[in-house]
């Protein structure tokens, strides 16, 4: 089921006379392809949850429309949209067993949708198997781990065979190891069921690792939509470049003069096609090459060995971050006692952004 968002907007009125209204989501248009997992990503307050709640019907848009397939669902109540919703806090009924929790949404079906007890049980076991909790069906939620409770919540969301699955920070309450495991699980379940899924998170690594496409939002406005790797390799502005990547992108003050990029006094890269201007220079940690003849000279702070790779921590007067982190192959040996390190740069890992607008400035990469 494709989901179409058309100029979707949500404005919260101000709470007092002189207060400002909040544009939580501003003209969001996007066609979520059938059967894909979309990650809605952005810092706290950027409008992710509000978007999700409008898709599920818990929030009424101030403007725009939502379609499931060809059906306009903008005015439909959540019960009539065929959505499954999973929240950060699993919100299971504590006095019910896992089985009862999963079957609960089926008990209230009306008319032609009514199911017999046997059909309900069959359906509950089917989804419980899918999320691999079918051996825990007689336990109460308090007898389960956080990860298991979240699986029950997912099973409960799936039991009505929703047209669209909506997940609001579903992994936030889990510890690091369980987060990793459960996000893989969510990906597997989504692949097996082919249900169009929207996943909200502020964790870029989480979104990048499981989404078919990511939507990066800032202050209610969509910044960029694309496959995770494409967005990482081609950020349209400084905000997106900074938001994606661990370690984060290194940013320097720079200037383009005569199709050459200067950081400090040094011309560090040919940037054919870029007009003269002041820029923010974003360099991914993997964009540095240790090179005795490299144009970018930095003060060496320390070298962290990470096995296959080495993280070189250095400083430069034009760096906007306190330290520069570059990841290079462990074969790169720095001389014992070195206080300086010189780098040349991989052009496709260097992004320029106009100093004022922070929009991308493109140049030819050979």
Interface residue list for ligand ATP (CB under 6 A):
12, 22, 24, 42, 44-50, 202
Q: Measured from the CB of residue 87, what is the shortest distance to ligand ATP in angstroms?
A: 11
Q: Measured from the CB of residue 74, what is the shortest distance to ligand ATP in angstroms?
A: 18
Phi, psi values for residue 76, rounded to 5°: -75, 150
Residue 91 or 330 with smaller CB distance to ligand ATP: 91
Residue 165 or 269 with smaller CB distance to ligand ATP: 165
Residue 221 or 303 with smaller CB distance to ligand ATP: 221
Q: Measured from the CB of residue 38, what is the shortest distance to ligand ATP in angstroms?
A: 15
3-class SS string, the chain: CCEEEEEEEEEECCCCCCCCCEEEEEEEEEEECCCCEEEEECCCCCCHHHHHHHHHCCCCCCEEEEEECCEECCCCCHHHCCEEEECCCCCCCCCCCHHHHHHHHHHCCCHHHCCCHHHHHHHHHHHHHHCCCHHHCCCCHHHCCHHHHHHHHHHHHHCCCCCEEEEECCCCCCCHHHHHHHHHHHHHHHHHHCCEEEEEECCHHHHHHHCCEEEEEECCEEEEEECHHHHHHCCCEHHHHHHCCCCCCEEEEEEEECCEEEECCEEEEECCCCCCEEEEEEECHHHEEECCCCCEEEEEEEEEECCCEEEEEEECCCECCCCEEEEEECCCCCCCCCCEEEEEECHHHEEEEECCCCEEECCCCC
Residue 42 or 235 with smaller CB distance to ligand ATP: 42
Q: Measured from the CB of residue 243, what is the shortest distance to ligand ATP in angstroms?
A: 13
Q: Measured from the CB of residue 111, what is the shortest distance to ligand ATP in angstroms?
A: 34
Q: Cα(193)–Cα(240) distance, rounded to whole angstroms?
A: 31
Q: Measured from the CB of residue 24, what is the shortest distance to ligand ATP in angstroms?
A: 3
175: which 2 tokens? 């510890």
User: Which residues make Cβ contacts (< 8 Å) with residue 179, sequence separation at least 6?
Assistant: 171, 206
Residue 219 or 327 with smaller CB distance to ligand ATP: 219
Residue 87 or 252 with smaller CB distance to ligand ATP: 87
Q: Measured from the CB of residue 293, what is the shortest distance to ligand ATP in angstroms?
A: 46
Residue 202 or 349 with smaller CB distance to ligand ATP: 202
Residue 41 or 103 with smaller CB distance to ligand ATP: 41
Q: Measured from the CB of residue 266, what is the shortest distance to ligand ATP in angstroms?
A: 40
């Amino acid at each position: 089921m494709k989901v179409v968002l058309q100029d979707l907007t949500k404005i919260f009125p101000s709470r007092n006379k002189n207060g400002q209204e909040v544009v939580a989501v501003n003209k969001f248009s996007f066609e979520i392809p059938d059967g894909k997992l979309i990650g809605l990503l952005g810092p706290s307050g950027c409008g992710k949850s509000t978007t999700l709640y409008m898709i599920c019907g818990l929030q009424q848009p101030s403007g725009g429309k939502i379609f499931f397939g060809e059906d306009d669902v903008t005015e439909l109540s959540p019960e009539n949209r065929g959505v499954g919703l999973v929240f950060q806090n699993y919100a299971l009924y504590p006095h019910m067993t896992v089985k009862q929790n999963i079957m609960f949404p089926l008990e209230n079906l009306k008319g032609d949708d009514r199911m017999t007890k046997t059909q309900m049980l069959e359906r509950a076991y089917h989804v419980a198997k899918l999320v691999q909790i079918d051996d825990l069906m007689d336990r109460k939620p308090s007898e389960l781990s956080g990860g298991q409770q979240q699986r029950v919540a997912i099973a409960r969301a799936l039991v009505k065979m929703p047209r669209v699955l909506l997940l609001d920070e579903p992994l936030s309450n889990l510890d690091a190891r369980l987060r990793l495991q459960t996000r893989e699980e969510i990906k597997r379940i989504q692949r097996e069921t082919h249900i169009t899924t929207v996943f909200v998170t502020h964790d870029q690594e989480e979104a990048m690792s499981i989404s078919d496409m990511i939507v990066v939002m800032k202050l209610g406005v969509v910044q960029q939509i694309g496959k995770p790797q494409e967005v990482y390799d081609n950020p349209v502005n400084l905000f997106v470049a900074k938001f994606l990547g661990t370690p984060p992108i290194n940013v320097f003050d720079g200037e383009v003069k005569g199709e050459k990029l200067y950081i400090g006094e040094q011309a560090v890269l040919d940037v054919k096609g870029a007009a003269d201007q002041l820029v923010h220079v974003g360099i991914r940690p993997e964009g540095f090459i240790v090179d005795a003849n490299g144009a970018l000279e930095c003060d060496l702070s320390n070298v962290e060995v990470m096995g296959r790779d080495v993280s070189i921590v250095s400083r430069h007067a034009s760096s906007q971050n306190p330290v520069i982190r570059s990841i290079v192959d462990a074969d790169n040996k720095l001389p014992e006692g070195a206080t300086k390190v010189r780098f040349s740069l991989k052009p496709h890992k260097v992004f320029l952004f106009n100093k004022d607008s922070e929009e991308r400035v493109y140049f030819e990469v050979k």
